[in-house]
Amino acid sequence: MNTRKKKRIRLSKFGKIFIGGTILGIIILVYLINTITYRMSDEYKLLDKGYNKSDVETILKKTKNNEEQLDKIKELRYNRIIPKLLTQRYFIFKNLDRYLNYANKHRDLSVKDVVTMVNVNRDYEYYTHVENTDTSKGDLILVNKYHKLNKNFQPDQIVEISSQYAYEGQQISKKVYEAYRSMWNAANKEGLTLIVTSSYRDYQSQDEVWNSIANSTGEEDADSRAARAGHSEHQTGLALDIVTYNSYNNEFDQTEEFKWLQKNAHKYGFILRFPKGKEDITGYSYESWHYRYVGKDVATKIHDLGITYDEYYAYYLEK
Ligand SMILES: [Zn+2]
């Protein structure tokens, strides 16, 4: 009995020192591991770069599950607008370097505008960085100063527009014609009359339009007044210039017909393609008469979001 008791006490004493030492060792080890792990963490690296707590939170949240994107931000020098860019609705990660560049050159612009402009390629000069547009997009083909149709592109099922709805000799895609007639009838029921002044134009005729201006008043003037061949939406067979009788193009927005289209065109699949106040984005002067068919769903979405087709395409279709 006695010896056993002594033995136990001795062991405990020894054990206490041993256990105490071990615990202390573990605490130090855990502390060291934690410190090293933290110093290797994304959070530490971002704070170390100069981002504040809330910036870091934003960056980690927005790049969640995307190691590559996070690495990219870690590689870049500290830039206070990166977290702001990440929270923009139409931010597209692959454009990050371009946003930063553009913001640097245009310090007066808001971060939101930087995103918009770069998304629609406005960090590039017109007609530079031109790509052949993706014609597999069908009704959603994008044609602008950066996306072109080739010489041979012709829409299928081009039909004549009856003189009830248009001036002589107008042609358009069959599907667009049907949508336009429904729209025409709805407007007509309210005592309004629409009329098409221009519709499908092939590559050749667009080339002639542009060249005839260029030959008389120069290329710069031609670019400000007409699209270059391959860059006109009229070649898609999806665009209509619509006015009413006794109204010139540039007076059309004073008419009841225009007001009606503003409220209703999207219900028939049409959008006002070059709106007022969006000239910098679309690259075109305001054209109250130029309507583009994109189908009801997309037209409604664009109408509700209040964005241009160029923006819509970049974010929803090309991204
Ligand atoms: Zn037009």
Same domain flag for 47 and 136 = no
pLDDT value of position 194: 97
Ranking 7-21, 227-241, 250-264 by mean pLDDT, the lowest is: 7-21
| Boundary of a domain, candidates 119, 145, 171 | 119
Mean pLDDT of the region 47-58: 96
| Boundary of a domain, candidates 119, 140, 155 | 119
**Is residue 10 domain-resident?**
no
Same domain flag for 240 and 282 = yes
Query: pTM of this prediction?
Result: 0.88
Domain that holds residue 63: 42-119
pLDDT value of position 38: 86
pLDDT value of position 224: 84
pLDDT tens-digit readout, 130-172? 999 999 999 999 999 999 999 999 998 999 999 999 999 999 9
Mean pLDDT of the region 41-61: 95
pLDDT value of position 161: 97
129 Cα to the center of ligand 1, angstroms: 23
Same domain flag for 110 and 222 = no
189 Cα to the center of ligand 1, angstroms: 25
Same domain flag for 97 and 140 = no
Mean pLDDT of the region 11-27: 86
Same domain flag for 169 and 76 = no
Indicate the average pLDDT of the chain.
94
**Is residue 76 domain-resident?**
yes
Do the Cβ atoms of 271 and 301 come closer than 8 Å?
Answer: no
pLDDT value of position 2: 53
In 3-state terms, what secondary structure has residue 245? coil
pLDDT value of position 225: 84
176 Cα to the center of ligand 1, angstroms: 14
Long-range contacts of 95-103 (CB under 8 A, 24+ apart): 95/119, 96/72, 98/123, 100/76
233 Cα to the center of ligand 1, angstroms: 7
Same domain flag for 67 and 163 = no
User: From the CB of residue 300, how many other CB atoms can be counted at a distance below 10 Å?
Assistant: 15
pLDDT tens-digit readout, 197-238? 999 999 999 999 999 999 999 999 999 888 999 999 999 999
Same domain flag for 135 and 185 = yes
287 Cα to the center of ligand 1, angstroms: 8
